[in-house]
Amino acid sequence: MPMRPHILVVLSLISFLAAGCTHTLPPHQEVNQALHKTLNSSGYNYSSKSRITNLTVPVKDLEAAASKQQYLEKGLEAARGLSIIADGAIDMKAKKSEVLYNLHYDQDNLEVSIKVPLLLDYSNQTLYIGTTLFNTIFPMPPASKGKLIKVDLNDLLKLTGDKSDKLKNMLGQKNFDAVNEGFKQGILKGFANLKDERFSDQPLSGDDKAAGVVRHIKVTLNHEESVALLLTIADTLIQRLYQDGVLSKEEYGTLMILTDKQKIDTYLAKFSMAATLDIGLTSVGQISRIESRFTAVGKDNRYQVGLENISGFSRYDAPLFSIKPELTGTVDYKEILEVYLAAKATAKAEAAAAAAAKAKVAEQEEPPKEEEKKIAE
Protein backbone atom coordinates (compact mmCIF):
# COMPACT_ATOMS: atom_id res chain seq x y z
CA MET A 1 0.00 0.00 0.00
CA PRO A 2 1.48 3.41 -0.98
CA MET A 3 2.50 5.79 1.78
CA ARG A 4 0.38 8.69 0.44
CA PRO A 5 -3.01 7.37 1.71
CA HIS A 6 -1.47 6.69 5.13
CA ILE A 7 -0.20 10.27 5.33
CA LEU A 8 -3.63 11.63 4.35
CA VAL A 9 -5.34 9.52 7.02
CA VAL A 10 -2.87 10.65 9.69
CA LEU A 11 -3.25 14.31 8.71
CA SER A 12 -7.04 14.02 8.73
CA LEU A 13 -6.94 12.40 12.18
CA ILE A 14 -4.66 15.14 13.52
CA SER A 15 -6.96 17.82 12.10
CA PHE A 16 -10.00 16.15 13.67
CA LEU A 17 -8.33 15.87 17.06
CA ALA A 18 -7.09 19.45 16.89
CA ALA A 19 -10.57 20.70 16.09
CA GLY A 20 -12.01 18.66 18.90
CA CYS A 21 -9.49 19.99 21.40
CA THR A 22 -10.10 23.67 20.70
CA HIS A 23 -13.13 23.73 22.97
CA THR A 24 -12.29 21.20 25.66
CA LEU A 25 -11.95 23.84 28.37
CA PRO A 26 -14.76 23.97 30.95
CA PRO A 27 -17.32 26.72 30.16
CA HIS A 28 -16.22 29.05 32.99
CA GLN A 29 -12.56 28.78 32.07
CA GLU A 30 -13.38 29.22 28.37
CA VAL A 31 -15.26 32.47 29.08
CA ASN A 32 -12.45 33.80 31.27
CA GLN A 33 -9.94 33.07 28.53
CA ALA A 34 -12.17 34.65 25.87
CA LEU A 35 -12.55 37.80 27.97
CA HIS A 36 -8.75 38.08 28.26
CA LYS A 37 -8.32 37.75 24.48
CA THR A 38 -11.16 40.14 23.72
CA LEU A 39 -10.27 42.85 26.22
CA ASN A 40 -6.57 42.77 25.35
CA SER A 41 -7.25 43.58 21.70
CA SER A 42 -6.23 47.03 20.44
CA GLY A 43 -9.63 47.76 18.96
CA TYR A 44 -12.76 46.39 17.30
CA ASN A 45 -16.03 47.18 15.56
CA TYR A 46 -19.31 46.60 17.33
CA SER A 47 -23.06 46.71 16.86
CA SER A 48 -25.53 46.91 19.71
CA LYS A 49 -29.28 47.08 20.26
CA SER A 50 -30.87 47.79 23.64
CA ARG A 51 -34.58 47.71 24.40
CA ILE A 52 -37.07 47.44 27.24
CA THR A 53 -38.64 43.99 27.33
CA ASN A 54 -40.88 44.61 30.33
CA LEU A 55 -42.00 47.76 32.11
CA THR A 56 -44.74 47.46 34.68
CA VAL A 57 -45.60 50.31 37.05
CA PRO A 58 -48.81 50.51 39.15
CA VAL A 59 -49.69 53.99 37.89
CA LYS A 60 -53.11 54.04 39.55
CA ASP A 61 -51.51 53.44 42.95
CA LEU A 62 -49.24 56.47 42.65
CA GLU A 63 -50.16 59.66 44.48
CA ALA A 64 -50.79 61.86 41.46
CA ALA A 65 -53.67 63.68 39.81
CA ALA A 66 -55.71 61.74 37.26
CA SER A 67 -54.39 63.91 34.41
CA LYS A 68 -50.77 63.26 35.43
CA GLN A 69 -51.46 59.53 35.72
CA GLN A 70 -52.77 59.53 32.16
CA TYR A 71 -49.62 61.23 30.85
CA LEU A 72 -47.47 58.80 32.84
CA GLU A 73 -49.29 55.82 31.32
CA LYS A 74 -48.77 57.23 27.83
CA GLY A 75 -45.10 57.83 28.61
CA LEU A 76 -44.65 54.22 29.72
CA GLU A 77 -46.35 52.99 26.54
CA ALA A 78 -43.98 55.09 24.43
CA ALA A 79 -40.94 53.80 26.33
CA ARG A 80 -41.94 50.23 25.53
CA GLY A 81 -41.64 50.99 21.83
CA LEU A 82 -38.18 52.56 22.06
CA SER A 83 -34.87 50.92 21.29
CA ILE A 84 -31.34 52.31 21.11
CA ILE A 85 -29.13 50.97 18.34
CA ALA A 86 -25.41 51.72 18.21
CA ASP A 87 -22.87 50.83 15.53
CA GLY A 88 -19.31 51.91 16.07
CA ALA A 89 -15.60 51.32 16.37
CA ILE A 90 -12.98 51.70 19.10
CA ASP A 91 -9.24 52.09 18.55
CA MET A 92 -7.20 51.92 21.75
CA LYS A 93 -3.91 52.78 20.04
CA ALA A 94 -5.19 55.84 18.18
CA LYS A 95 -7.27 56.87 21.21
CA LYS A 96 -10.48 57.41 19.29
CA SER A 97 -13.97 55.99 19.06
CA GLU A 98 -16.93 56.48 16.76
CA VAL A 99 -20.58 55.57 17.09
CA LEU A 100 -23.76 55.96 15.09
CA TYR A 101 -26.58 56.22 17.62
CA ASN A 102 -30.02 55.34 16.34
CA LEU A 103 -32.99 56.19 18.56
CA HIS A 104 -35.67 53.94 17.10
CA TYR A 105 -39.40 53.93 17.87
CA ASP A 106 -41.68 51.24 16.45
CA GLN A 107 -45.18 50.89 17.86
CA ASP A 108 -48.84 51.43 16.89
CA ASN A 109 -48.10 51.58 13.13
CA LEU A 110 -45.57 54.36 13.73
CA GLU A 111 -41.88 53.90 13.03
CA VAL A 112 -39.44 56.75 13.65
CA SER A 113 -35.64 56.72 13.55
CA ILE A 114 -33.30 59.52 14.63
CA LYS A 115 -29.60 58.97 13.99
CA VAL A 116 -26.63 60.83 15.47
CA PRO A 117 -23.10 60.01 14.18
CA LEU A 118 -20.23 60.94 16.52
CA LEU A 119 -16.44 60.62 16.43
CA LEU A 120 -14.43 61.40 19.56
CA ASP A 121 -10.66 61.86 19.27
CA TYR A 122 -9.20 61.69 22.77
CA SER A 123 -5.69 62.55 21.60
CA ASN A 124 -6.66 66.13 20.74
CA GLN A 125 -9.95 66.27 22.65
CA THR A 126 -12.08 66.92 19.60
CA LEU A 127 -15.64 65.80 18.90
CA TYR A 128 -16.93 65.45 15.34
CA ILE A 129 -20.67 65.38 14.65
CA GLY A 130 -22.06 64.07 11.37
CA THR A 131 -25.22 65.11 9.55
CA THR A 132 -28.27 64.90 11.82
CA LEU A 133 -31.80 66.24 12.13
CA PHE A 134 -30.31 69.47 13.50
CA ASN A 135 -28.80 70.22 10.08
CA THR A 136 -32.35 70.39 8.72
CA ILE A 137 -33.91 72.33 11.60
CA PHE A 138 -31.25 74.96 12.30
CA PRO A 139 -29.68 77.46 9.88
CA MET A 140 -26.26 76.34 8.69
CA PRO A 141 -23.40 78.08 6.86
CA PRO A 142 -23.75 77.57 3.07
CA ALA A 143 -20.33 75.89 2.80
CA SER A 144 -21.07 73.38 5.59
CA LYS A 145 -23.16 70.95 3.53
CA GLY A 146 -21.76 67.43 3.77
CA LYS A 147 -19.10 68.42 6.31
CA LEU A 148 -18.62 67.28 9.89
CA ILE A 149 -19.22 69.71 12.72
CA LYS A 150 -15.96 70.07 14.66
CA VAL A 151 -16.20 70.78 18.39
CA ASP A 152 -12.97 71.61 20.22
CA LEU A 153 -13.79 70.38 23.72
CA ASN A 154 -11.00 72.52 25.18
CA ASP A 155 -12.78 75.67 23.98
CA LEU A 156 -16.16 74.38 25.08
CA LEU A 157 -14.92 73.49 28.55
CA LYS A 158 -13.61 77.02 29.12
CA LEU A 159 -17.24 78.07 29.52
CA THR A 160 -17.38 76.02 32.73
CA GLY A 161 -14.88 78.36 34.43
CA ASP A 162 -12.89 76.91 37.32
CA LYS A 163 -14.05 73.37 36.56
CA SER A 164 -12.64 73.40 33.02
CA ASP A 165 -9.25 71.89 33.95
CA LYS A 166 -10.91 69.02 35.79
CA LEU A 167 -13.30 68.28 32.92
CA LYS A 168 -10.48 68.65 30.39
CA ASN A 169 -8.43 66.02 32.21
CA MET A 170 -11.43 63.69 32.31
CA LEU A 171 -11.49 63.63 28.50
CA GLY A 172 -7.72 63.28 28.08
CA GLN A 173 -5.62 60.32 26.93
CA LYS A 174 -4.59 59.43 30.48
CA ASN A 175 -8.17 59.07 31.62
CA PHE A 176 -9.06 57.15 28.47
CA ASP A 177 -6.43 54.55 29.35
CA ALA A 178 -7.37 54.53 33.05
CA VAL A 179 -11.08 53.96 32.37
CA ASN A 180 -10.43 51.21 29.82
CA GLU A 181 -7.95 49.46 32.09
CA GLY A 182 -10.28 49.79 35.08
CA PHE A 183 -13.22 48.30 33.20
CA LYS A 184 -11.05 45.51 31.81
CA GLN A 185 -9.66 44.48 35.18
CA GLY A 186 -13.09 44.78 36.80
CA ILE A 187 -14.76 42.55 34.22
CA LEU A 188 -12.00 39.93 34.42
CA LYS A 189 -12.09 39.89 38.21
CA GLY A 190 -15.89 39.86 38.37
CA PHE A 191 -16.28 36.90 36.03
CA ALA A 192 -13.41 34.98 37.62
CA ASN A 193 -15.19 35.23 41.00
CA LEU A 194 -18.40 33.61 39.70
CA LYS A 195 -19.22 29.98 40.44
CA ASP A 196 -18.45 27.34 37.81
CA GLU A 197 -22.01 25.98 37.87
CA ARG A 198 -23.34 29.31 36.57
CA PHE A 199 -21.75 28.57 33.17
CA SER A 200 -23.26 26.02 30.78
CA ASP A 201 -22.84 25.04 27.13
CA GLN A 202 -25.80 25.62 24.81
CA PRO A 203 -26.62 24.42 21.28
CA LEU A 204 -25.77 26.86 18.50
CA SER A 205 -28.66 28.99 17.25
CA GLY A 206 -29.14 30.30 13.72
CA ASP A 207 -27.88 33.72 14.83
CA ASP A 208 -24.80 32.05 16.34
CA LYS A 209 -23.92 30.31 13.10
CA ALA A 210 -24.49 33.49 11.08
CA ALA A 211 -22.07 35.33 13.39
CA GLY A 212 -19.37 32.66 13.08
CA VAL A 213 -19.91 31.38 16.63
CA VAL A 214 -18.53 27.89 17.35
CA ARG A 215 -19.34 27.70 21.05
CA HIS A 216 -22.33 29.16 22.93
CA ILE A 217 -22.05 29.51 26.71
CA LYS A 218 -24.85 30.75 28.95
CA VAL A 219 -24.14 32.53 32.24
CA THR A 220 -27.06 32.58 34.69
CA LEU A 221 -26.87 34.89 37.72
CA ASN A 222 -29.23 35.33 40.65
CA HIS A 223 -29.77 38.53 42.65
CA GLU A 224 -26.69 38.26 44.87
CA GLU A 225 -24.40 37.29 41.99
CA SER A 226 -25.70 40.06 39.71
CA VAL A 227 -25.11 42.69 42.39
CA ALA A 228 -21.68 41.24 43.25
CA LEU A 229 -20.57 41.32 39.59
CA LEU A 230 -21.63 44.94 39.11
CA LEU A 231 -20.04 46.04 42.39
CA THR A 232 -16.77 44.28 41.55
CA ILE A 233 -16.57 46.07 38.21
CA ALA A 234 -17.44 49.45 39.78
CA ASP A 235 -15.04 48.99 42.71
CA THR A 236 -12.13 47.96 40.46
CA LEU A 237 -12.76 50.91 38.15
CA ILE A 238 -12.82 53.37 41.05
CA GLN A 239 -9.62 51.90 42.48
CA ARG A 240 -7.88 52.25 39.12
CA LEU A 241 -9.02 55.85 38.63
CA TYR A 242 -7.77 56.76 42.10
CA GLN A 243 -4.49 54.92 41.56
CA ASP A 244 -3.88 56.83 38.30
CA GLY A 245 -4.69 60.18 39.89
CA VAL A 246 -7.94 60.68 38.01
CA LEU A 247 -9.94 60.86 41.24
CA SER A 248 -9.07 62.98 44.25
CA LYS A 249 -9.03 61.45 47.73
CA GLU A 250 -12.39 63.07 48.52
CA GLU A 251 -13.99 61.81 45.28
CA TYR A 252 -12.57 58.36 45.89
CA GLY A 253 -14.02 58.23 49.40
CA THR A 254 -17.46 59.33 48.21
CA LEU A 255 -17.60 56.76 45.42
CA MET A 256 -16.41 53.94 47.66
CA ILE A 257 -19.28 54.68 50.04
CA LEU A 258 -21.74 54.48 47.14
CA THR A 259 -20.41 51.04 46.14
CA ASP A 260 -20.51 49.62 49.67
CA LYS A 261 -22.30 46.24 49.44
CA GLN A 262 -24.24 46.67 52.68
CA LYS A 263 -25.63 50.01 51.56
CA ILE A 264 -26.47 48.67 48.10
CA ASP A 265 -28.24 45.67 49.65
CA THR A 266 -30.33 48.09 51.73
CA TYR A 267 -31.33 50.06 48.64
CA LEU A 268 -32.17 46.93 46.65
CA ALA A 269 -33.91 45.04 49.45
CA LYS A 270 -37.31 45.69 47.86
CA PHE A 271 -36.25 44.27 44.50
CA SER A 272 -35.11 40.90 43.22
CA MET A 273 -32.70 40.98 40.29
CA ALA A 274 -31.44 38.38 37.86
CA ALA A 275 -29.27 38.37 34.75
CA THR A 276 -28.45 35.99 31.92
CA LEU A 277 -25.60 36.32 29.43
CA ASP A 278 -25.45 34.26 26.25
CA ILE A 279 -21.86 34.46 25.03
CA GLY A 280 -20.85 33.33 21.54
CA LEU A 281 -17.19 32.50 20.90
CA THR A 282 -15.31 32.33 17.60
CA SER A 283 -12.87 29.61 16.54
CA VAL A 284 -9.96 31.74 17.81
CA GLY A 285 -11.56 32.10 21.25
CA GLN A 286 -12.75 35.71 21.02
CA ILE A 287 -16.24 36.96 21.76
CA SER A 288 -18.36 37.42 18.65
CA ARG A 289 -21.79 37.89 20.17
CA ILE A 290 -23.35 38.62 23.58
CA GLU A 291 -27.04 38.61 24.46
CA SER A 292 -27.61 40.17 27.89
CA ARG A 293 -30.93 40.14 29.71
CA PHE A 294 -31.58 41.85 33.03
CA THR A 295 -34.72 41.76 35.15
CA ALA A 296 -35.71 43.54 38.36
CA VAL A 297 -38.95 42.68 40.11
CA GLY A 298 -40.45 44.25 43.22
CA LYS A 299 -41.15 41.97 46.14
CA ASP A 300 -44.88 42.40 45.55
CA ASN A 301 -44.49 42.00 41.75
CA ARG A 302 -46.15 45.37 41.09
CA TYR A 303 -42.94 46.93 39.77
CA GLN A 304 -41.15 45.05 36.99
CA VAL A 305 -38.35 46.05 34.64
CA GLY A 306 -36.79 43.97 31.89
CA LEU A 307 -33.86 45.07 29.71
CA GLU A 308 -32.21 43.36 26.77
CA ASN A 309 -29.00 44.10 24.91
CA ILE A 310 -27.70 42.20 21.90
CA SER A 311 -24.16 43.06 20.81
CA GLY A 312 -21.85 41.79 18.10
CA PHE A 313 -18.08 42.30 17.80
CA SER A 314 -15.79 42.02 14.79
CA ARG A 315 -12.50 43.18 13.22
CA TYR A 316 -10.43 42.71 16.37
CA ASP A 317 -7.13 44.64 16.21
CA ALA A 318 -8.23 46.14 12.86
CA PRO A 319 -11.23 48.43 13.52
CA LEU A 320 -12.78 50.14 10.51
CA PHE A 321 -13.92 53.76 10.91
CA SER A 322 -16.58 55.27 8.66
CA ILE A 323 -16.33 58.88 9.92
CA LYS A 324 -13.28 60.47 8.28
CA PRO A 325 -12.84 64.22 8.89
CA GLU A 326 -9.80 64.38 6.61
CA LEU A 327 -11.96 63.31 3.64
CA THR A 328 -15.30 65.02 4.27
CA GLY A 329 -13.93 68.28 5.66
CA THR A 330 -15.13 70.06 8.80
CA VAL A 331 -16.87 73.24 9.87
CA ASP A 332 -16.21 74.73 13.31
CA TYR A 333 -19.17 74.77 15.67
CA LYS A 334 -18.50 78.47 16.33
CA GLU A 335 -19.37 79.29 12.71
CA ILE A 336 -22.66 77.45 13.06
CA LEU A 337 -23.35 79.22 16.34
CA GLU A 338 -22.72 82.60 14.71
CA VAL A 339 -25.13 81.80 11.86
CA TYR A 340 -27.76 80.62 14.32
CA LEU A 341 -27.45 83.71 16.54
CA ALA A 342 -27.55 85.99 13.49
CA ALA A 343 -30.69 84.27 12.20
CA LYS A 344 -32.25 84.52 15.64
CA ALA A 345 -31.43 88.24 15.87
CA THR A 346 -32.88 88.83 12.39
CA ALA A 347 -36.07 86.99 13.28
CA LYS A 348 -36.39 89.01 16.48
CA ALA A 349 -35.88 92.29 14.60
CA GLU A 350 -38.43 91.30 11.95
CA ALA A 351 -40.95 90.36 14.64
CA ALA A 352 -40.41 93.71 16.38
CA ALA A 353 -40.80 95.58 13.08
CA ALA A 354 -43.99 93.68 12.26
CA ALA A 355 -45.41 94.43 15.71
CA ALA A 356 -44.57 98.14 15.33
CA ALA A 357 -46.18 98.27 11.88
CA LYS A 358 -49.30 96.56 13.19
CA ALA A 359 -49.53 99.02 16.08
CA LYS A 360 -49.15 101.95 13.67
CA VAL A 361 -51.95 100.67 11.43
CA ALA A 362 -54.19 100.19 14.45
CA GLU A 363 -53.43 103.71 15.62
CA GLN A 364 -54.33 105.15 12.21
CA GLU A 365 -57.61 103.26 12.09
CA GLU A 366 -58.65 104.33 15.61
CA PRO A 367 -60.96 107.44 15.53
CA PRO A 368 -59.84 110.57 17.41
CA LYS A 369 -61.03 110.93 21.00
CA GLU A 370 -63.13 114.06 20.20
CA GLU A 371 -65.02 112.22 17.44
CA GLU A 372 -65.71 109.34 19.83
CA LYS A 373 -67.14 111.84 22.34
CA LYS A 374 -69.46 113.44 19.74
CA ILE A 375 -70.69 110.06 18.58
CA ALA A 376 -71.43 109.11 22.16
CA GLU A 377 -73.45 112.36 22.70
Can you give the three-state secondary structure of 273-307, one letter per residue? EEEEEEEEECCCCCEEEEEEEEEEEECCCCCEEEE
Q: Residue 272: phi, psi to the nearest 5?
A: -120, 125
Q: Specify if 9 maps to a domain.
A: no
Domain assignment of residue 355, yes or no: no
Cα of first residue to Cα of last residue in the chain, in angstroms, is 136
Q: Is residue 153 part of a domain?
A: yes
Residue 372 counted as domain residue: no
3-state secondary structure of 103: strand
Cα separation of 98 and 316, whole Å?
15
Question: Could you tell me if 141 and 117 are in contact, meaning their C-beta atoms sit under 8 angstroms apart?
Answer: no
Range of the domain at 249: 24-340
Q: Which pTM does this prediction carry?
A: 0.80
* Tens-binned pLDDT, residue by residue, of the chain (377 aa): 444 444 444 444 444 344 444 457 999 999 999 999 999 999 999 999 999 999 988 877 666 666 677 788 888 888 889 999 999 999 999 999 999 999 999 988 889 999 999 999 988 889 999 988 777 777 788 878 889 999 998 887 776 655 555 555 555 667 888 889 999 999 999 999 999 999 999 999 999 999 999 999 999 999 999 999 999 999 999 999 999 888 889 989 888 887 887 888 787 778 899 999 999 999 999 999 999 999 999 988 888 999 999 999 999 999 999 999 999 999 998 888 888 888 888 888 888 888 888 888 877 766 665 555 555 55
Which of 298, 290, 289, 294 has its CA nearest to residue 275?
294
Q: What is the pLDDT of residue 257?
A: 83
Number of domains in the chain: 1
Q: Look at residue 276 and tell me if it is in a domain.
A: yes
Secondary structure of residue 62 in the 3-state scheme: coil
187 part of a folded domain? yes
Specify whether the CB–CB gap between 304 and 56 falls below 8 A: yes
DSSP 142-188: GGGTTPEEEEEHHHHHGGGGGGHHHHHHHTSHHHHHHHHHHHHHHHH
pLDDT at 359: 81
Residue 364 within any structural domain of the chain = no
Is 15 part of any domain? Answer: no
